[in-house]
Amino acid sequence: MQRFAQMKKMISPRDARIKPELRAPPKKVKKEDPTELKITEAPQQSSALFFQYNTQLGPPYHVLIDTNFVNFSIKNKLDIVENLMECLYAKCTPYITDCVMGEMEKLGQKYKIALKIMKDPRFERLNCTHKGIYADDCIVNRVTQHKCYIVATNDKDLKRRIRKIPGVPIMYVSQHRYTIERMPDAYGAPKK
């Protein structure tokens, strides 16, 4: 005679005998009531924006610089501060965050000229309060919070992310000079 192993009977995770806080939720999902009011939260828009027009932009311009913008400027033999003013026809203050500086220091000896340029006293330093040194996230967060910056970068991914934020112009190096996009016409920005 052959004996088979007996299996223990298991209680279902939804069983009424299990304490309510440990019990698994029922699988049946309640149908949505079509008459019930749906609440969706939209992020608060900046008061600096008048439709797509950013009222906080104006001379002296605050330009937030990325690492590759400095590298492209060196490759094209462009003086950053001089060419910023030439592009915007106004006084400009270049800003560099701690993350951008950290990213440049990580690149090593090959980029020591770029690091020396970034330590120029004409460049303002912005302290970062967040953890990590990923510069792209840092720039996107700063620009989302404060709409007073123009972002100077040649990074395609960063440009794509910034284009989603309304009212933030992007400056980049093209054809051996600086070009700006999404700048309101009222400020006399150079046309492409």
* Rounded Cα–Cα distance for residues 182 and 168 (Å): 7
Q: What angle do CA 178, 115, 182 make, to 5 degrees?
A: 25
Q: Residue 77 domain-assigned?
A: yes
Q: Residue 85 domain-assigned?
A: yes
Strand order, beta sheet including 149-152: 124-126, 92-97, 61-65, 149-152, 170-174, 177-181
Q: Residue 23 domain-assigned?
A: no
Q: Is the peptide bond before 59 cis (omega within 30 degrees of 0)?
A: no
| pLDDT value, residue 51 | 66
- When pLDDT is averaged across residues 20-32 and rounded to a whole number, the result is 76
* Rounded Cα–Cα distance for residues 100 and 58 (Å): 24
Give the 3-state secondary structure percentages of the chain, helix then strand then coil, rounded to 5.
Answer: 30, 15, 55
Residue 82 near residue 49, CB atoms below 8 Å: no
| pLDDT value, residue 146 | 86
- pLDDT tens digits, one per residue of 51-79: 667 777 888 899 999 999 999 999 999 99
| pLDDT value, residue 47 | 73
Tell me the CB-side half-sphere exposure of residue 133, using CA atoms within 13 A. 13
Q: Residue 122 domain-assigned?
A: yes
Q: Which domain holds residue 84?
A: 59-183
Q: Residue 155 domain-assigned?
A: yes
pLDDT at residue 83 greater than cutoff 80: yes
Q: Residue 51 domain-assigned?
A: no
Read off the CATH number of the domain in which 91 is found.
Answer: 3.40.50.1010
Mean pLDDT (the chain, rounded): 84
| pLDDT value, residue 166 | 85
| pLDDT value, residue 161 | 93
DSSP label at 111? Answer: G
Q: Residue 43 domain-assigned?
A: no
Where is pLDDT greater, at 46 or 96? 96
- When pLDDT is averaged across residues 80-95 and rounded to a whole number, the result is 91
| pLDDT value, residue 167 | 85
Q: Residue 168 domain-assigned?
A: yes
| pLDDT value, residue 130 | 81
Residue 192 near residue 87, CB atoms below 8 Å: no
> How many structural domains are present in the chain?
1
* Rounded Cα–Cα distance for residues 154 and 171 (Å): 8
- When pLDDT is averaged across residues 45-49 and rounded to a whole number, the result is 73
| pLDDT value, residue 147 | 86
Task: Tell me whether strands 124-126 and 149-152 are parallel, antiparallel or unpaired.
Answer: unpaired
- pLDDT tens digits, one per residue of 113-169: 999 999 999 999 999 888 777 889 999 999 988 888 999 999 999 999 999 988 899
